[in-house]
A and B are shown apart, each in its own frame.
Chain A
Amino acid sequence: MPFSTHSPIPINEKLTVEELITKLRKRVNINLIACAAEDKCCDKYVREAELNRPGLALTGYLDVFSWHRIQIIGNTENDYLKKLSQDKQRKAFDNITKFDIPIIFLTNGNILPQALLENATQRGIPIFTTPYETTRFMHLLKDFLDDQFALQTMVHGAMVDVYGVGILIVGKSGIGKSEVALDLVERGHRLVADDVVMITKKGSVLMASATIMSKHFMEIHGLGIVDVMSMFGIRSVRYQKRLEIVTELSLWDDTLEINRTGLDHEQVSILDNEIPYIKLPITPGKNITVIAEVIAMNHLLKHYGYDAAEAFQEKIKSSIAEKTNGMNPSMKRAIEYFEGDVE
Chain B
Amino acid sequence: MIRKKVTIKNSSGLHARPSAALVKLSSSFKSDFFIHMYGYRVNGKSILGVMTLAAEQGAEMELEIDGSDEQACLEAIEKLIDQKFGMKDE
CB distance from A165 to the nearest CB of B (A): 24
Q: Are A195 and B40 in contact (CB under 8 A)?
A: no
CB-based nearest A residue for B20: A224
User: For the complex, is A146 an interface residue (Cβ under 8 Å from B)?
Assistant: no
Dominant secondary structure of chain B at its interface with chain A: mixed
CB distance from B50 to the nearest CB of A (A): 9
Q: Classify chain A's interface size.
A: 10 to 19
Q: Which of B27, B32, B45, B48 contacts A196 (CB 8 A)?
A: B48
> Of residues 1 to 41 in B, which have CB atoms within 8 Å of A's CB atoms?
16, 27, 32, 39-41
Q: Are A211 and B52 in contact (CB under 8 A)?
A: yes
Dominant secondary structure of chain A at its interface with chain B: strand
CA A90 to CA B48, docked complex, whole Å: 59
CA A225 to CA B47, docked complex, whole Å: 9
Q: Are A156 and B54 in contact (CB under 8 A)?
A: no
Residues of A within 8 A of B42 (CB): 154, 156, 196
Residues of A within 8 A of B45 (CB): 173-174
Q: Mark A209-234, 1 if CB is under 8 A from B, else 0.
A: 00101100111000001000000000
Q: Mark B40-65, 1 if CB is under 8 A from A, else 0.
A: 11110111110110100000000000
User: For the complex, is A6 an interface residue (Cβ under 8 Å from B)?
Assistant: yes
CB-based nearest A residue for B36: A6
CA A194 to CA B46, docked complex, whole Å: 10
Interface on A for B, CB 8 Å cutoff? Answer: 4, 6, 9, 153-154, 156, 173-174, 194-196, 211, 213-214, 217-219, 225
Interface on B for A, CB 8 Å cutoff? Answer: 16, 27, 32, 39-43, 45-49, 51-52, 54
